[in-house]
Amino acid sequence: MVIKTPGTIYHRDTTSIKLQVSQPIQSLNLFLPNAKSIERCKQKHVEWEYLANKWARYKTAWAKALTLVPRMERIESFSHTEIVADLSRLIDIENLYGGSKPIRDCLQRRGWIFNDSPKHSDLIVTQRKVKKGEERTWIKIVLDIPSS
């Protein structure tokens, strides 16, 4: 997975950030064993570790793409995360949410999401159809930090 450019931050303050990354979300089906992938693995004479390694590379690609997001001190807050995937081929909603998991994991490690439980965060993932070569992902996070 090649990342064309790290991305661009369009807005940032102490409680929100909006950015665009040239890394498209991929369908979770690409990483799960199913009848199609089993047959593909048999044809290519590869083991199941192939799918696990593919998922690890996908997560690493997202970790590299999101290095532009500044780290912040983890404080207990509620985070609203909105992800918009511009894709040349639309994917079903379950795989869209599953493919966005590495994004949330990276944002949690960088301090923007306190915890990905429903008590501390919500998530909205949508997609739009674009021309091939224009795939990208838009990410917006808004924190509700309780006043002391």
Q: Which helix (H) or strand (E) holds 19?
A: strand 16-21
- Between 22 and 30, residue with greater pLDDT: 22
The model's confidence at residue 1, banded by pLDDT at 50, 70 and 90, is: very low
Which residue type does 120 have?
Answer: H
Does residue 17 contact residue 140 with C-beta atoms inside 8 Å? yes
The predicted structure's pLDDT at residue 124: 95
Query: Tokens at residue 103, please?
Result: 């994004």
C-alpha 98: how far from its chain's center? Answer: 9
Domains of the chain: 8-144 (3.30.1330.70)
Does residue 27 contact residue 144 with C-beta atoms inside 8 Å? no
Comparing C-alpha atoms, which of 90, 82, 92 is closest to residue 132? 90
- Largest pairwise CA distance in the chain: 60
Does residue 141 contact residue 121 with C-beta atoms inside 8 Å? no
Q: Mean pLDDT for the chain?
A: 84
Q: What is the pTM of this model?
A: 0.83
Phi and psi torsions of 122, nearest 5°: -130, 165
Distance CA 102, CA 64 (A): 11
Burial of residue 58 (number of CB atoms within 10 Å: 0-12, 13-18, 19+) = buried
Q: For 47-86, how does the pLDDT look when each residue is reduced to its tens digit (9 = 90+)?
A: 666 667 888 888 998 998 888 888 888 788 899 999 999 9
The model's confidence at residue 30, banded by pLDDT at 50, 70 and 90, is: confident
- pLDDT for 18 beyond 70: yes
The predicted structure's pLDDT at residue 15: 84
Q: For 83-100, how does the pLDDT look when each residue is reduced to its tens digit (9 = 90+)?
A: 999 999 999 999 999 999
Q: For 92-144, how does the pLDDT look when each residue is reduced to its tens digit (9 = 90+)?
A: 999 999 999 999 999 999 988 988 888 989 999 999 999 999 999 999 999 88
The predicted structure's pLDDT at residue 72: 85
